Chains A and B, each alone.
Chain A
């Protein structure tokens, strides 16, 4: 079946540091890939997405590129802020299969001033 593996946290950074959160996947079909963010006390919200190989999703300074050859969708940001502290989830939806997404376990990011 489909699966998503993302790096364990917490990831602790100083403000303005470079961020990478690794995500790799396995899928039987041709999935769409997503990053969601969950701020404390809230539900998840979509951060960015990519629907085909080599697509780059971007939003709020975050970027991720759909790499089919390495089955990866790593999240990056050049300069993190304290307000980026949250839990980040990588996910996929196999468009040829069911409408049930597969989520990674989440990576907590803590940014210090």
Chain B
């Protein structure tokens, strides 16, 4: 059973607010990822990390930032939220052995 958690599950905030989406996993996986999922369901990689103090931007340009200070924790921060950030955000982790990904339940963000 995979254990990866995201909080909050749902968030409605006003434009200009700073927010942090939390992601934690208890499996000891070194690789973690953030995806943005559009209404058409397609997944877009926005950030990833191969381990502590390692972060990289993904294929989709994003105004968000991430940090990886601990193996189990990979938070995503938006310094100033805008309506264009309204989306579903999915966090995932994986090992380098099986290559399969374990996903959290997602955070549904709405910026008004």
Indicate, yes or no, whether A interacts with B.
yes
Nearest chain B CB to A43 CB, angstrom units:
4
Whether A45 touches B40, Cβ cut-off 8 Å, given contacts A99-B50, A99-B94, A100-B45, is no
- Assess the A93–B42 pair: CB atoms within 8 A: no
Q: Which of B6, B50, B99 contacts A101 (CB 8 A)?
A: B99
Whether A44 touches B101, Cβ cut-off 8 Å, given contacts A99-B31, A99-B94, A100-B48, is yes
Most buried by A among B45, B92, B103: B103
| A interface, over-half SS | strand
- Assess the B103–A105 pair: CB atoms within 8 A: no
Provide the bound-state CA to CA distance between A95 and B98, in Å.
9
- Assess the A103–B43 pair: CB atoms within 8 A: yes
In the bound complex, residues from chain B placing their C-beta under 8 Å from that of A87 are: 41
Whether A49 touches B101, Cβ cut-off 8 Å, given contacts A43-B90, A99-B94, is no
Nearest chain B CB to A12 CB, angstrom units:
16
Q: Which of B41, B94, B102 contacts A108 (CB 8 A)?
A: B41
Whether A42 touches B105, Cβ cut-off 8 Å, given contacts A89-B43, A99-B94, is yes
Q: Which of A41, A99, A108 contacts B96 (CB 8 A)?
A: A99
Task: Please report B residues at the A interface, Cβ cutoff 8 Å.
Answer: 2, 6, 31, 33, 40-43, 45, 48, 50, 58, 90, 92, 94, 96, 98-106
